[in-house]
Structure 1
Amino acid sequence: MSFVIRAATDRDLRPLYEMAKLTGGGFTNLPPDRRALQAKLDRAREAFEREGNGEVADELFVLVLENTETGEVRGTSQIFTHVGKRHPFYSYRLGTLTQHSRELDRTFRAEMLTLTTDLEGASEVGGLFLHPGERAGGLGLLLARSRYLFIAKHRARFGDRVLAELRGIIDEAGGSPFWDGLAGRFFGMNFQEADQFNAVNGHQFIADLMPKHPIYTAMLSESARAVIGLPHPSGRAAMRMLENEGFAFENYVDIFDGGPTMIAQTDRVRSIHDARTSTVVSVGGETGNESLVAAGTLGSFRCTFGCVSPADGGIALSADAAAALKVGPSDTVTHVARL
């Protein structure tokens, strides 16, 4: 069975909607709302159709995972070129204020959350969802790392930093202890309502209502404090993959659920730094290094697993990968070792 990552099109609306209903909430980039999903596909179509690298823009690319035998879409992921260009990109920065009293001979360290737009201009990888029936065979890794090969092939359209927001802790009822303990007190809506509103209408209501002064975490409930910077249990594997790529938690957390924001320098992301572009010399070799292999640009971008081995003047590529990528001898591909 073979899978390929490709650019999303309008015909993917239905499978995207069906997958969105399986996320379980807290997944802002994949809302179970047909109109919001269609808006994402419209925006992605504009990005895929825009040629050239001269203008820095706030663009969205939506990719999907397709079973090449059945044509079924079984996963998706997204890439934002420059966050905060259209609307402010808010995060909480977790910091410490140290104060000392000579009279009491005591030093007090207060942990604080400060609303910030520090990450404006960074690129973002997000919206990754793999159908529960496909969570084997490294397909999550293919979905995640294909985004970095896409960035490598279109480097001028992305920022110098790249971030990934991991979903925070969500309770069994679909609520967020972090939201309930902080923002929910100012918005008059529960987490599910705020999350859905944000997914469909954007962040402006955050700017309108979120308190701008720092929040002392000691003033929050114990349940809210306990989840700051923690990923949802389903996101722990994603966090490890990000760390393997060179991402790190730099004390920025999501303003809705308190989940961690992972950050890396774009050119130091492992899959971008190690990617190589080669000419396909021959097709059919089933031995060599297992790799992620990508071909095409923008709307013709495709990425899959394949075997790559050195050949005189280029590489030999396994037949299944060549078929999935629709390439042959003399075509060029970008590849990186499968970790």
Structure 2
Amino acid sequence: MLVIRPITEADYPALMRCAEESGHGFTSLPVNEEILRNRISHSVESFAKDVTEPGTEGYLMVAEDTETGEIAGTTAIEAAIGLDTPFYTYHISTVVHASRRLGVHNVVKVLTFGNNYTGNSELCTLFLRPEWRHGLNGRLLSKCRFLMLAEHKHRFSQTVLAEMRGVSDEEGHSPFWEWLREHFFSIDFTHADYLTGIGAKGFIADLMPKLPIYVNLLSPEAQAVIGQVHEKTRPALRLLENEGFCCRGYVDIFDAGPTVECDVRNIETVRHSLRCTVEIGTHSSSHDYLVSNTSFANFRAAVGKIAVDGERNVALITPEMAAALQVKNGDQVRLIAQ
């Protein structure tokens, strides 16, 4: 069974393995020991912190196989982005150039550089190792964060977003970045992406064009990938869209991948998840549920067969599931059918 839990200092080797396997364009997992160790330490401090409103906390979790102890992937939530380091985006908007006298009416798209998501919560660092990409593992890794949002609302912003990886090839070449590099940056995509991942974002403010960019002036290759996702990211995007997330015209400044967002109150899992009392025992239910305990510092989430008694508001779970979630009879869990 896979169980989601907060990361610990002992998980560093597994996190580095995930960083190495994640490939180009995965900004939040740079292959850098100092950055990864600092991120683990920050997460440990964040989970232990008593907060009344979202701040600079970052909650990094891992998926652990309870039988082997192997780490299958990572997932995370940033409580409020852009407070300590800038969070940049491009916004796609429309400009009309028209002259009634000449009979000319041109509608063009422009990209405007900004920090409009400052203070919002971000879903990030979702990576599932290839050998685990089957069954409900991907859904568990992604949707466990919605159970956390539902149970601990005061720790997060009302708006939650997720940056989707944009189009790039196996060597890490991004058509959108190639145009920016040629005209403004003179460094390759993987280098720029790595600098962003380790927090060295000063070059963005120094070199990024401050005035809006007319999309029709970009190369055809760059125009074609604006708002498009990497082929490996499509399943994650579909899952978020099914939860109510949508793109409101914001894209990544490097690869032009879309940023999707949703009001926490409108996320499907948040809206429809139930809080039930635990009863431990055997049952014959064939229904799969995503379930978490209601602790924060010792958050646990898993997916498995559960019998729910709606009249008594009781969740009958197996001893194995109870051990994974670290709950006992009479405790509360939050769950939703899959």
* Number of the residue aligned with 1:81: 79
**Segments of 4+ moved more than 4 angstroms:** none
Equivalent residues in 2 for 1:194-273, closer than 5 Å: 194-273=192-271
2:4 aligned with 1:5, yes or no? yes
Contact 2:53 2:154 in 1 (8 A): no
The amino acid that maps onto 1:56 is: P
Measured after TM superposition, the shift of residue 288 of structure 1 is 5.6
Distance across 2 between alignment mates of 1:332 and 1:265: 25
Distance across 1 between alignment mates of 2:136 and 2:286: 18
Distance across 1 between alignment mates of 2:184 and 2:295: 45
Measured after TM superposition, the shift of residue 183 of structure 1 is 5.0
Distance across 1 between alignment mates of 2:268 and 2:327: 25
Unaligned runs of 5+ in 1: none
TM-score normalized by structure 2? 0.96
Distance across 1 between alignment mates of 2:296 and 2:272: 21
Contact 2:279 2:316 in 1 (8 A): yes
Q: Sequence identity of aligned pairs in percent?
A: 38
Distance across 2 between alignment mates of 1:153 and 1:244: 20
Distance across 2 between alignment mates of 1:150 and 1:335: 11
Helix, strand or coil at the partner of 1:300 = coil
Distance across 2 between alignment mates of 1:334 and 1:252: 32
* Number of the residue aligned with 2:309: 310
CA deviations over 1:122-161 (Å, ceiling 9, x no partner) = 1100110001111101111100000111122221010010
Contact 2:227 2:257 in 1 (8 A): yes
Measured after TM superposition, the shift of residue 57 of structure 1 is 1.0
288-297 vs 21-30, which moves further: 288-297
Measured after TM superposition, the shift of residue 184 of structure 1 is 5.5
Distance across 2 between alignment mates of 1:59 and 1:255: 24
Measured after TM superposition, the shift of residue 103 of structure 1 is 2.5
The amino acid that maps onto 1:297 is: S
Equivalent residues in 2 for 1:277-292, closer than 5 Å: 277-287=275-285, 289-292=287-290
Distance across 2 between alignment mates of 1:134 and 1:100: 54
Distance across 2 between alignment mates of 1:168 and 1:313: 43
Distance across 2 between alignment mates of 1:141 and 1:183: 36
Change (3 A) 1:89 1:313: closer
Equivalent residues in 2 for 1:1-339, closer than 5 Å: 2-51=1-50, 53-183=51-181, 185-287=183-285, 289-306=287-304, 307-310=306-309, 312=312, 314-338=314-338
Measured after TM superposition, the shift of residue 102 of structure 1 is 1.6
TM-score normalized by structure 1? 0.95
Measured after TM superposition, the shift of residue 315 of structure 1 is 2.3
Measured after TM superposition, the shift of residue 176 of structure 1 is 0.9
312-321 vs 105-114, which moves further: 312-321
Distance across 1 between alignment mates of 2:151 and 2:97: 49
How many residue pairs align between the two structures? 336
Distance across 2 between alignment mates of 1:278 and 1:336: 10
Contact 1:178 1:228 in 2 (8 A): yes
Distance across 1 between alignment mates of 2:145 and 2:53: 21
CA deviations over 1:13-60 (Å, ceiling 9, x no partner) = 101101111112100011111111111101101101102x32431110
Distance across 2 between alignment mates of 1:165 and 1:18: 22
